[in-house]
Amino acid sequence: MPFSRTQKRIRRELREQRALLSLALGRKTLQIRRDNLDRVVFYPEHKIAFNRIAKSGNSSVILYLDEAIKGPNNHQDDYKQAKRRAMGTGKSLIEMSRSQKDRASLAEVSFFTVVRNPWTRTLSAFLDKIANGPRDKYGFIPGFGDNSQAGFEAFIAFLGSSGLHANHHWKPQTDALLLPASQFKSICRLEHLSTELPDALAETCLTLPSSEQLQQPHRIESNQHSKLTRASNKLQHYYNSATTQAVAKLYAADFKLGSYSLDPRSIGLNLLSN
């Protein structure tokens, strides 16, 4: 059995190496983050690739893309099953590397992603995974189970000391990209998804939901009440001057990536009232 596990690991390693080599040749770059290999969904028929970023609306975008490609459905799917099915509408990089036609398309595919204001995203990660998250996964992290400003401050201190890259739900969005940002045709912002996503996909001729729908999480995700943190409405309750400054410093590259203002008042944070 140990030998069998070793064989599987070697085969996986070879598949990943072939996939990464195909991407490097297609995009003419060696700047590839291997740990993000499974974070990109390719749609070769439409010449697009979506780089998923946790806590930045990636589940809803995947579900919206699935319906745009395969047509709307009225099934009341289980969230995990629906997302798994939607992911299957596209291809992984490893799957792309198996076909000469798909490998050739890597040079032409337009990469896009969706980012989120770092202040909101970081709070959302705390509310979803730390304040009320499962103990078996996150119980060791400072601030766990403490759904308060003090708990959030403990979590931010953890990020600043050693935890910034400990989990993909809060690691910097710049570090969640498979390729350098310069390789992306579109970097949409979740806060402006209703206009920026249609612009990013204009050449695909896919029919996306109305702007009103795109302003909200997908209906299947909306049924997962535990996932919807409503972080943008809770900033004032959790942030103080120290945590605001810390997040601005820790995620400086993300603020630049999404052209977000470093002035907390731009998102309604009035720290004078804290």
Beta bridge partners of 111: 49, 184
- Sheet with 184-189: strands ordered across: 40-43, 48-51, 110-115, 184-189
Q: How far is CA 256 from CA 125, 146, 188, in A?
A: 20, 31, 13
Structure tokens belonging to residue 184: 């992306």
Spell out the SS3 assignment of 38-75.
HHEEEEHHHCEEEECCCCCCHHHHHHHHHHHHHCCCCC
Coil/strand/helix, residue 184: strand
pTM of the model: 0.92
| pLDDT given at position 74 | 58
3-state secondary structure 81-98: HHHHHHHHHCECHHHHCC
Instruction: Name the DSSP letter for residue 128.
Output: I
Task: Quote the pLDDT of residue 126.
Answer: 97
User: Is-contact 48 41, C-beta < 8 A?
Assistant: no
Low-confidence ranges of the chain (pLDDT < 50): none
Q: What percent of the chain has pLDDT over 90?
A: 78
Instruction: Kindly report, residue by residue over 230-258, the tens digit of the pLDDT.
Output: 888 999 999 999 999 999 999 999 999 99
Q: How far apart are the first and last CA of the chain?
A: 59
Q: Using CA atoms, how far apart are residues 223 and 8, in angstroms rounded to an integer?
A: 37
Query: How much is the pLDDT for 124?
Result: 95
Residue whose structure tokens are 């944070």 = 269
Q: What pLDDT, in 10s, does the model give residues 169-209?
A: 999 999 999 999 999 999 999 999 999 999 999 999 999 99
